[in-house]
Chains A and B, each alone.
Chain A
Amino acid sequence: MSNSAVQTESHESHGPELLHHFVSAEQQRNTVSLAMWLFLATEVMFFGGMFCAYLIYRTWYYAEFAAGSRSLNIWLGTVNTVVLIGSSLTVALGVRAAQMGKRKLLVVLLLLTLVLGLTFLGVKAIEWHDKYVEHHIPGASFSVADLVREYPQLHIDQRHAQIFFSLYFAMTGMHALHMVIGVGLFLYLTYHAWKGTYGPKYYTPIELGGLYWHFVDIIWIYLFPLLYLIDRKPLK
């Protein structure tokens, strides 16, 4: 009883968003921000393992990686890069809107981010469907007979090509899963932004959601050249 009385009293001096084990709002922000960066460091190592596997197999089976890369749709890949970077802009402007207490602008920017994120996933689904139609999904019906015919000078080994496409689906799949989680997070943030939870005094969730979204953007900034742009120059 006496405890809750103390809590009620202390809230009057600083508002409900400050948790009691923090000295100040700034200390609370710095602490959770550091925790988010530590989580992102673990994500760097998670994706780092796949990038490492990619690097090793690319040096071993360069011809198959070149042919596999050529079979990806560079236009859809470029459009998706533009879409994702656009969503990073709307997130960055959203954090700014929250800092300045512009509730309506924040909600609009978060909704735009959701639209762009879902557009990215939609384009990704089209690309994966193309790979399904072409029998480029690793498994029982996998075949790169089309690529062998198209690029006879590369001497493509079907098993090596399957490794490229396994890595393609693992990397873009894990990236897309992160996007799906990001969409979920931003639905939550949009709901609370609409209710007016965030403002100049308390915008930490927007800032942290933004850090996550930008991180997923950076992963794609590397996936785009590593998967789509391996070897686009005219073949001799």
Chain B
Amino acid sequence: MSEHVMSSKMYYGIWITLMVLTVVTAAVSFIDLGPFNTIVALSIATFKAILVVLFFMHVKYASEKLTKLVIASALFFLVLLLSLSMIDYLTRYLA
């Protein structure tokens, strides 16, 4: 975290993008896309989360390498938890 002061324009830009994506994800859920409804909803949520982390939480312009390592390891263990659990539960009744 350095003393980098970001322009308020950038914050408003990120906020408007997040607002638009919120309305889009709610509207798209009413359209039948088959299995893609879930994929679109989670992709939009992940894109919104990335915007918040990078810009509102200052990870893009003002963070230490160690901070990025902590974020990466948190995500790694979350993916490990979710993927290994689902590999187990989704394949239990195959045989």
**SS class, residues of chain B in contact with chain A:** helix
Minimum CB–CB distance for A66 against chain B, Å: 11
B30/A232 in contact, CB under 8 A: yes
Q: Report the nearest A residue to B32, measured CB to CB.
A: A233
Q: Bin the interface of chain B by size.
A: 35 or more
Give the complex CA separation of A169 and B54 in angstroms.
30
Give the complex CA separation of A86 and B89 in angstroms.
38
Give the complex CA separation of A130 and B14 in angstroms.
33
Give the complex CA separation of A81 and B31 in angstroms.
20
Q: Which residues of A contact B29 (CB under 8 A)?
A: 74, 225, 229, 232-233
- B67 partner, pick from A26, A37, A228, A229, beta carbons under 8 A: A37
Q: Report the nearest B residue to A60, measured CB to CB.
A: B89
Contacting A at CB under 8 A, from B1-27, are 1-3, 5-6, 8, 11-12, 14-15, 18-19, 22-23, 25-26
Q: Which residues of B contact A156 (CB under 8 A)?
A: none
Contacting A at CB under 8 A, from B37-52, are 37-38, 41-42, 44-45, 48-49, 52
Q: Which residues of B contact A56 (CB under 8 A)?
A: 85-86, 89
B5/A91 in contact, CB under 8 A: no
Q: Which residues of B contact A91 (CB under 8 A)?
A: 56
* Per-residue B-contact encoding for A205-225, CB less than 8 Å = 1, 0 else: 001001100110110011011
Given the known interface contacts A55-B82, A229-B25, the answer about A34 and B42 at a Cβ–Cβ threshold of 8 Å is no
Q: Which residues of A contact B31 (CB under 8 A)?
A: 233
- A214 partner, pick from B8, B56, B75, beta carbons under 8 A: B56
A78 an interface residue at 8 Å Cβ cutoff? yes
Given the known interface contacts A229-B25, A229-B26, the answer about A222 and B45 at a Cβ–Cβ threshold of 8 Å is yes
**SS class, residues of chain A in contact with chain B:** helix
Give the complex CA separation of A99 and B42 in angstroms.
34
B2/A26 in contact, CB under 8 A: yes
A78/B6 in contact, CB under 8 A: no
A152 an interface residue at 8 Å Cβ cutoff? no
B95 an interface residue at 8 Å Cβ cutoff? no
Minimum CB–CB distance for B7 against chain A, Å: 9
Identify 17 residue pairs between A and B in the complex whose beta-carbon atoms are under 8 Å apart, listed by A's number: A40-B74, A41-B73, A44-B77, A45-B74, A48-B77, A48-B78, A51-B82, A56-B86, A92-B56, A93-B8, A96-B6, A99-B3, A218-B53, A221-B45, A226-B45, A229-B26, A233-B29
User: 5 tightest A-B contacts by CB?
Assistant: A41-B74, A225-B41, A233-B32, A229-B29, A232-B29
Question: B-contacting residues of A (Cβ < 8 Å)?
Answer: 26, 29-30, 33-34, 37-38, 40-41, 44-45, 48-49, 51-52, 55-56, 59-60, 74, 77-78, 81-82, 85-86, 88-89, 91-93, 95-96, 99-100, 200, 207, 210-211, 214-215, 217-218, 221-222, 224-226, 228-234
